[in-house]
Amino acid sequence: YIDSRNFSSGKSIVQKMEEKTNKSHILVLPIPVQGHINPMVQFSKRLASKGVKKVTLVTIYSISKNMPKESGLINIESIPHDDESPPQNIDKMLEWFHLLVSKNLTKIVEKLSDSEYPVKVLVFDSMATWAIDLAHQLGLKGAAFFTQSCSLSAIYYHMDPETTKISFDGSDVSLPSLPLLAKEDLPSFIYDTDLYPALRGLIFSQNINFNNADWLFFNTFNALEKEVLDWIRPRYPIKTIGPTIPSMYLD
C-alpha cells in the first residue's frame, strides 16, 4: 500500500519548478538503457498532469519509434541516428549517446524556444553527468534524476574512492544515516575493485551531480528513506519525486 499523500512533495516540486521556469517548458533526457527510460517517462507525465505548461521527452529515434503515443500529455523529441545502432557495450553506448546529444541538443532547444513556452529546465539521467554542462551552456537550469534508491546513492556518495576517507577491509561499514553494513550488503564492485571497472567508474561519476546540478531528483518518497533524506536535505538541493510508476498502480 502506498499512501497517495506521499505525492504532496511532488506537487510542491512542480509548483517550485513552475516558479523557476516562469511556467514554461521542461526538457527530460533519459539515457537509452533498460530501467532508466520508464521512470523518467512516468515523471514527465506527472509533471504534465500537475500543470507544467509543456514537457518534452528527448530520446533517440530507435527508442522513440517504439514508444506509445502519450495522448498529448507529453511531447517526444526524437534524435535521429540514421541506421546506426547504439553500441551494446555500456561505456561505448554512453559515449555514443553523449556525442549524439551534444550535436543535437542546441538545435532542439532553439527549435522549441520558438514556441509559446521556451525551454528553461533540463532534467537528465544522473549517469549523463555531462548534461549539466550542456544545460548551463544553453542558459538552462539542470536537474539530475537518480533512478536508483536514495540509500544506494548515499553509499556511492560516502564510499567514492575519489573523495572518501573510509578504507574497506572487509569488516562492517558505518556510514552516516545508514544502518551498519556488512560486506554482503554492499555492491560487489565496492569491495572488489577489479570487478566491473568501467561500471564502477560510471556509478561513482554520478557524485559530480551533487556539486554541479541545480537540483537532485530522487526516485523515492520521504516515508521510505527518511533517515537518509534527512541527512542529505540540509546539504544539497534535493527533491523526492517517487515512486515513478504508472498512476493506475497508485489509485
Task: Specify if 67 maps to a domain.
Answer: yes
Q: What is the CATH number of the domain that holds 43?
A: 3.40.50.2000
**164 assigned to some structural domain:** no
Domain presence at residue 75 = yes
CA 21, 58, 76, 112 torsion-angle sign: positive
Question: In the prediction, which pLDDT does 137 show?
Answer: 96
Among residues 221, 101, 207, which one has the least CA distance to residue 144?
Answer: 207
At position 30, the amino acid (one-letter code) is: P
Q: Which of 197, 150, 145 shows the shortest CA–CA distance to 175?
A: 150
Residue 36 annotated as catalytic? yes
| pLDDT tens-digit readout, 97-133 | 999 999 999 999 999 887 788 899 999 999 999 999 9
Instruction: Give the chain's residues under pLDDT 50.
Output: 1-9, 21-22
Structural domain contains residue 64: yes
d(CA 73, CA 30): 17
Give me the pLDDT at residue 14, please.
Answer: 55
Confirm whether 170 is domain-assigned: no
Cβ neighbors of 125 (< 8 A, separation 6 or more) are: 29, 30, 31, 36, 40, 131, 144, 145, 147
How far apart, in whole angstroms, are the C-alpha atoms of residue 215 and residue 209? Answer: 9
- Give residue 3's pLDDT: 41
Please give the Cα distance from 16 to 29 (Å, whole number).
20
pLDDT tens digits for range 61-91: 656 656 665 556 888 888 887 766 777 788 8
Q: Is residue 173 part of a domain?
A: no
Point out the catalytic residue in the list 25, 82, 114, 125: 125
Length, in residues, of the chain: 251
Report which DSSP code applies to 183.
Answer: G
**199 lies in some domain:** no
Give residue 63's domain range: 4-149+213-249
The answer to whether 145 and 126 are in contact (CB under 8 A) is yes
Structural domain total, the chain? 1
**Which amino acid type is present at position 78?**
S
pLDDT score recorded for residue 52: 87
Q: How confident is the model at residue 73, as a pLDDT?
A: 80
pLDDT score for 198: 82
- Predicted pLDDT at 1: 34
Within a domain: 54: yes
Is residue 251 annotated as a catalytic residue, yes or no? no
Which entry of 3, 25, 36, 82 is annotated as an active-site residue?
Answer: 36
**pLDDT the model gives residue 89:** 80
